[in-house]
């Protein structure tokens, strides 16, 4: 087989999948996208201002000085023929009007959670459940955060049976890569089950 035909076949089988990284304000979405991306990530981080103080809840993240106002974007190649395009969503409710646009064509989502502020995960979970978008919950194990088992987190979030809960460190590339691989596998099995009418 000549190299031109070989290159054409390789490009025909290449697949790019869109993944959302969602969760509450200050949970580590920008960090996750940045740590796992093989390209310099696009970030729309802006400084928090005095004008936003009445609407931006900083409970549990008092030291946070910036926020994502549109999205984060990164890319990771998992295999020669498979790449994931990562779109980090803004965590503050006042920017949620962007979620519908970002969710268009997404294979699935990672809902990043902080067990110190677990209630902040409910909105993202509800969003994906109501739209039938497969997701995994990734508990970002911050320094000093109390460790909880996956089953305890799933129960506390009242997740549907079969929704994966994994532990990760948003600063660690290998840890984040495992979360993304788990999401792709979960999304594939979810879509297969739908096709079979299960």
Residue 71 neighbours by CB distance under 10 Å: 23
CA 159: distance to chain centroid?
17
Instruction: Compute and round to an integer the Cα radius of gyration of the chain.
Output: 18
Reading phi first (left if > 0) and then psi (alpha if -120 to 50, else beta), residue 71 is in beta
Q: Who contacts 62 (Cβ-Cβ below 8 Å, separation ≥6)?
A: none
29-36 helix and 173-195 helix, angle to the nearest 10 degrees: 100
Q: Who contacts 106 (Cβ-Cβ below 8 Å, separation ≥6)?
A: 18, 19, 20, 87, 133
Q: Concatenated DSSP letters for 90-126? A: P-SGGGGGGHHHHHTT--EEEEEE-GGGGGGGHHHHH
This prediction has a pTM of 0.80
Whether the Cβ atoms of residue 123 and residue 22 lie closer than 8 Å to each other: no
Tens digit of pLDDT at every position of the chain (198 positions):
444 433 444 456 889 999 999 998 888 999 999 999 999 877 766 565 554 554 555 555 555 555 554 578 999 998 889 999 999 988 666 666 778 888 999 999 999 999 888 998 999 999 999 999 999 999 998 776 667 889 999 999 999 999 999 999 999 999 999 999 999 999 999 988 888 876
């Amino acid at each position: 087989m000549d190299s031109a035909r070989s290159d054409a076949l390789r490009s025909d089988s290449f697949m790019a999948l869109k993944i959302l990284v969602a969760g509450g304000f200050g949970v580590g979405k920008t960090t996750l996208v940045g740590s796992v991306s093989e390209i310099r990530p696009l970030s729309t981080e802006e400084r928090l201002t005095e004008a936003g103080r009445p609407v931006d809840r900083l409970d549990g993240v008092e030291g946070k000085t910036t926020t994502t106002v549109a999205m984060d974007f990164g890319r990771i190649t998992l295999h020669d023929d498979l790449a994931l395009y990562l779109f980090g969503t803004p965590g503050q409710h006042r920017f949620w009007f962007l979620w519908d646009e970002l969710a268009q064509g997404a294979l699935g989502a990672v809902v990043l959670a902080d067990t110190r502020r677990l209630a902040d995960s409910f909105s993202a979970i509800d969003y994906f459940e109501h739209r039938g978008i497969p997701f995994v919950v990734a508990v970002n194990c911050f320094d000093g955060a109390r460790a909880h088992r996956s089953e305890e987190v799933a129960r506390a979030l009242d997740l549907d049976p079969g929704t994966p809960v994994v532990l990760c460190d948003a600063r660690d590339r290998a840890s984040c890569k495992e979360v993304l691989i788990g999401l792709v596998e979960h999304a594939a099995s979810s879509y297969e089950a739908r096709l079979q009418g299960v």
